[in-house]
């Protein structure tokens, strides 16, 4: 069996064998599930598994690449969409592994696979950071602010005197520090088109907030795409964390 130094420990190979059973069960979700962030989240872990399982001889490189290609193809053809910015970040982070040399084994000399992953990662990154909509995805207009400007967008709408709902958001969601990433844009209850669940901070039990999930995902996304054209930059981290740039 072809092993490398990541899988020489017998226990490690046993764990990989167990993980392979879950991998086999999960692959069908990429053709039959209507989940969005859930698929992006598990794809991230499945790529990690394949990166270990292929050198260990547990799965062939061709089979691994075939699954990755089908996952990307189904993403593009089914036109599923997320609800909050962190939903999109799971897909951006999973597909952004094509830029990471540690995953060279899976993506080396595979221009079609690399392009299909790039065509998911790049628009998702632009959407999360700048509010530039990915093509052919059902997204409401108020997402155009991007994750770092969600509160500022609500303030701008409130200044247009569009109703008490916007003013309530500005008061009720006023952050201690208006920096970092927001989980989602904010709109008044009953606003049309209205995502589900409501994104009015007075009613939303899960958000939108400047929570650790979206900030952690954004940080990882910037790190993973760092140096790629129009993607992760040093300034992104500085803007997010309000740090000096030395």
203-217, pLDDT tens digit by residue? Answer: 666 666 777 888 899
Cis peptide before 193 (omega within 30 of 0): yes
Q: What percent of the chain has pLDDT over 70?
A: 82
Task: Report residue 166's pLDDT band, with 50, 70 and 90 as the boundaries.
Answer: confident
Maximum mean pLDDT: which of 17-21, 207-211, 233-237: 17-21
Q: Is the pLDDT of residue 240 over 60?
A: no
Q: Is the pLDDT of residue 178 over 70?
A: yes
Q: Is the pLDDT of residue 54 over 70?
A: yes
- Alpha-carbon distance of 41 to 88, in angstroms, equals 10
Report residue 108 CA to chain centroid gap: 23
Task: Report residue 83's pLDDT band, with 50, 70 and 90 as the boundaries.
Answer: confident
State mean pLDDT over 100-117.
94
CB 221 within 8 A of CB 213: no
Q: Where are the alpha helices (DSSP H) in 79-110?
A: 85-95, 104-107
Whole-structure pTM value:
0.85
Q: Is the pLDDT of residue 65 over 70?
A: yes
pLDDT of residue 131: 84
92: which 2 tokens? 């951006």
pLDDT of residue 138: 66
User: Which of 138-147, 167-176, 189-198 has the weakest average pLDDT?
Assistant: 189-198
Residue of higher predicted confidence among 74 and 82: 74
CB 117 within 8 A of CB 98: yes
Q: Which long-range contacts (CB under 8 A, 24 or more apart) does 19-23 make?
A: 19/49, 19/53, 20/49, 20/53, 20/58, 20/59, 23/49, 23/50, 23/53, 23/59
């Amino acid at each position: 069996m072809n092993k490398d130094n990541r899988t020489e420990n017998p226990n490690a190979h046993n764990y990989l064998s167990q993980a392979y059973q879950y991998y086999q069960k999960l692959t069908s979700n990429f053709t039959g599930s209507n989940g969005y962030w859930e698929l992006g989240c598990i794809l991230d872990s499945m790529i990690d598994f394949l990166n270990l399982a292929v050198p260990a001889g547990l799965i062939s490189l061709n089979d691994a690449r075939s699954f990755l290609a089908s996952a990307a193809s189904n993403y593009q053809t089914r036109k599923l969409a997320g609800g909050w910015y962190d939903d999109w970040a799971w897909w951006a982070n999973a597909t952004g592994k094509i830029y990471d040399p540690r995953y060279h084994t899976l993506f080396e000399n595979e221009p079609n696979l690399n392009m299909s992953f790039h065509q998911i990662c790049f628009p998702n990154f632009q959407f999360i950071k700048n509010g530039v909509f990915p093509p052919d995805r059902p997204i409401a207009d108020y997402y155009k602010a991007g994750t770092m400007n969600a509160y500022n967008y609500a303030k701008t709408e409130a200044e247009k005197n569009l109703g008490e709902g916007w003013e309530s958001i500005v008061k009720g969601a006023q952050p201690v520090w208006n920096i970092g990433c927001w989980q989602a844009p904010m709109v008044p209850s009953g606003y049309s088109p209205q995502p589900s669940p409501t994104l009015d901070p007075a009613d939303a039990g899960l958000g939108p907030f400047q929570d650790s999930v979206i900030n952690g995902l954004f940080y990882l996304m910037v790190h993973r795409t760092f140096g790629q054209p129009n993607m992760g930059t040093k300034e992104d981290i500085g803007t997010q964390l309000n740090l000096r740039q030395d």
